[in-house]
Structure 1
Amino acid sequence: MIYGIGTDICDVRRIEATLQRQGERFVRKVLTDAEFAVWQTRSTRWPHRGLRYLATRFSAKEAFSKAVGMGMRMPMTWRSCEITNLPSGQPVIVLHGELKTWFEAQGLRAHVTVTDETDYAASFVVVEKN
């Protein structure tokens, strides 16, 4: 049974402007340590690819927060929700801390997809209840 659906579209230029204003502090606020490492590697080799990576993670976390119906308030935080990829490339949501405990206690399961183009990143999340 579907528990919730969330979608988000993010203007990559807005993320870029925030990154220019706040620098690494903004990235550390949004990304987990594992995501930060990927962002750093991509940004070093291909700055625009790193920027789009950051935008897709921002968008996916926003979509997830909408799908679970709590927005960005506890136990949902930027860093308690991680978007990673399986070896196949499929994006998956990995939760940490209180958010993970709450999510599992509810018997929930999440599916995520992300996409990006030059100016936009978009995400779609479906949360199911077992």
Structure 2
Amino acid sequence: MIFGIGTDICDIRRMRETYVRRGERFAAKVLGPHEIEVFRQRLAKVESRGISYLATRFSAKEAFSKAIGMGMRMPMTWRDCEVVKAPSGKPEIRLHGALAEWFETRGLRAHVSVTDETDYAASFVVVETRENR
């Protein structure tokens, strides 16, 4: 059963401007432990790939916060929600701390899709209740 749906679109140009102004501090505020490492690797190789990665993660977290119905307030935090790749390449939500506990006690499961083009990153999240609780 669907618990919630969230979507978000992010202007990559604005994300780039914010990163130029605030630098690594901004990325460290938004990205979780695994994500920050991937971001740094991509940024070092091709700056635009790093910024696009940051934008897709920002967008996905916004969409996730909408799908769970709480926006960016506790226990939802930027760093406790990560978007990681499964071995197949499929994006998945990985939660930490109080957010993971909140999510687990409600028996929820999340599905996420992210995409980006030159100027925009977009995400779609569906959160459902797990069967056989």
Q: Normalising TM by the smaller chain, what interval? A: over 0.9
Answering whether residue 111 of structure 2 is matched by residue 117 of structure 1, we say no
Letter in 2 for 1:118: T
Alignment partner, residue 93 of structure 2 = 93
TM-score by length of 1: 0.99
Count of equivalent residues: 130
Shift of 1:84: 0.2
Alignment partner, residue 18 of structure 2 = 18
Q: Percent identity?
A: 67
CA distance in 1, matches of 2:99, 2:55: 22
Shift of 1:65: 0.1
Alignment partner, residue 8 of structure 1 = 8
Which segments of 5 or more consecutive residues in structure 1 lack a partner in the other structure?
Answer: none
CA distance in 2, matches of 1:32, 1:104: 19
4+ runs of 1 displaced by more than 6 Å?
A: none
Which segments of 5 or more consecutive residues in structure 2 lack a partner in the other structure?
Answer: none
Answering whether residue 30 of structure 2 is matched by residue 30 of structure 1, we say yes
